[in-house]
Structure 1
Amino acid sequence: MKSWLEGEKVTLSCTSPGRCRGITPNITWKGNIQNFETKKHVINHENGTKTHFSNITFTARREQNNSILSCTVQLEGGLTTVQKITMKVEYPPRPPKIKCSINRKASDVWSRKNCTIDANNTIYPPEGARLSLTCTANSVPKSSIVWKSSNKQKTSIDKDKLTLDNVSHANDGLFICQATNIHGTSNKSVTIKIAYPPRAPDIKCSLSNKDSNVLSSKDCAMDANNTIYLPEGSTLSLSCSADSVPESSMVWKSFIKTKTFFNMAKLNFANLSHANEGLYTCQATNAHGTSNTSVTIKIMLPSSSSSSSLFSAAAIYGGCLVVLLLVVGVLLLVLYKKRQMIQKTEDLRQAPVSVADPIYGNSEMFATGSNENRHKNQQPPPEVVSDLCNKEMHYMSVHFSKSKPKVNKNEEEVVYAAVRCKQ
């Protein structure tokens, strides 16, 4: 039988068997049709007989494909005949349907895991799994299926089934199923995001002091041991985030006195005190695992901080004062030594001289004989003295204030003699 295309207007006719004389048969239609219209017609023949038939008009729909349409002719006396047909309605493919399955290998045994496609047409297969996608499309005639990838990935396709082995982040992307028959084409896409457990959560802190209500992260930092040192009375906010697919739920845990849970990604403290000191743990969880990061809060007392500062300042100033006193002491000692030297020089210059104006001369100038006689007889001979007195005396003064002559301890002692001339 001829098939119809969806949306096409169809008219069928049902005729009563034979020719009737003086009777009118009842013709009815039955089937999966709506909004139809029927008309009865009669053909009169020359011999006085009549042929009765009925036409039905309707619009072909896909739901009618392979359904039964029947025509029933009921004659007088209970005689009934029925004629049936199977309707054929063709239509282009409707949007395909995609189903997924996940298999994971553990100890050489493959196990099937649940696979769902969310409202955003996204699948989250775990790393290392085998992902299979099956695409079907409702159409008459049957459609051919083609899979396409947004990043041209290498895939294994068996008719309408797409398989990805050992999935990784390289498989992230858009996959499109395309269904085509002689009447048209239809597409359906699905996004694959490789799922992984949360990485170590990242904790950030913001702080405001007593004089400001504005939270700032620049004055709040953790040391290498994930410890935060905070002034008493300040306001603290701890936020926690973790990289994961799908997104993780965040929970804060406190181990102060009793174990406490806070189902939130941000933890706030007002007017911090020593009661808030302790360990706080951020826990990130998704369907594939859990990860934790902890932070320790320690409160600093303002008084302790001030005393420490004052002690440090006093130590610095005290050290500077000691150095200054040492420098002054050295300078005073050098000045004292210098003044002593100057005083000795002045004393030598101002030594008293006898009124007889003695003339000094080395006794060696007048001595004769051996060295031993020189020391025994320190006075010059009378004739020399007489000769010196009769002559005009000349003398000179020699100063050695700026140079200090070297003295040899082995030299003989110098002896001077005073010469007085009497008139």
Structure 2
Amino acid sequence: MGVRRYWFYWEYHIILLSILSLHWKGRNCEEQTELVPVFKIEAPAEVTVQRGLCVIIPCNFIIGPDYTLTKDAIGIWYKGRESGIVAASTDSSQFPDTTNGCFIFTGKVSAGDCSFSISDAQPGDATHYQFRLVDEDSLKFSYLHIQPSVSVTGLKEPDISPNNDLTAGEEVTVTCTAPTHCPGLSPTFTWEGSVNTENTQNNTLRHQDGTVTYWSTITFTPSLSDHNSSLTCTVTYKHESAKTSITLNIEYLPILNITVPGGTGESSSLFLREGDSQEIYCKVNSNPTAKISWTKGKSPVENTKQNGHKLTLSLWNVAENDTDIYTCTAQNQRGINNHSISVSVEYAPRQPKISVYNLEGCLPVGNISVPDGSTLSLHCNANSNPQASFSWIQTDPLKQLSDNDVLNIQITHNIVCICQVENKYGLSNNSLIIIVTRRRSYRRTKLLKRCLKVMEMCFIII
């Protein structure tokens, strides 16, 4: 409701038009046309009201000192130049209500108050209004030159607050305030949107000045799916309605999805063959936009490329040392989140290493010589991915000695032992030559111990 408060003051001087009027002795004429003291009226030049709402037109008037308003004084407002009475300060038995209660004389005439109100304003109410004062038969006066003008505009949209960013998973209360303060015009509120619209409450607050504030609240917990959806509040009056829509901006923690080209969904592990190349995608859904990075173990990697909300990790000509846990991390103002993928580089067995143990411990690496009958423990070790199978064989004659990585054997002759390691990518082997050395032949005769008492000597004959 807007009011152009241009106050007009008008002096009504009704001047003696004929000298014959000097002979007029009574004042009970239909309308005073003789010399009348100053009459003034104070009212806004123009007021604006929204269609379907209300407006109060404040008005005050005074009459000359030669007149005294009685308790029976009546104030009347006409639409246009007395084209029809819209409001009167008396009961409707004298002036029937033709506006269905939409026009009400709110002032107290005996106090010089000629204010009136309009409710449920319609375009047809847009015109000038004229005030007329009637007090018994002694005073009947129309204020013709000061006629407030009423303009009817379209109904404004209701106000929705807050309309700023919301957080997914956090309960929020949104308020819709009606564009009116008119008492008696309680509107109906309707909420529409993807969020839960069941938890609503309508409220009314009456102020000391007689105006009323109407509002409705809706409480809901926004989710990720509500992002960029609309929330609409519609305010409906008797004949009019208006609505306001806002787009929900839901902020949320980054959501990550790790995929590989040709994959059927999110990947948590990846197996590559040595020498292969592979791209790994980290797609991030977040609001606001997140900062994305890749790490290998705990070390950052540089072979990445970002395209919008996707950060691509490129692995080229992978080798054994590329096997690790790769982690994609995304962070925005709402927090940090990460997902990992295990990359395993598979390869054929490397050349085995053979270790030899006897009862005294580990023997030097390489081909060995041992005494006849020695017991040895041969251990074979080889890096491979996936895990390889082990076997021991001998040559001349060809014979499998063991299907394990450890071979326990007693050496009685020269022998070549081969450790063979195999997985799905290939086979590798290593050999060990063992030479038997004969034990030394010591012949010891019986120990003759002769004590020559005389010479006190002991001879040992070997």
TM range (shorter): 0.3 to 0.5
Structure number with greater Rg is: 1
User: Higher strand share goes to which structure?
Assistant: 2
TM-score (normalised: structure 2): 0.39
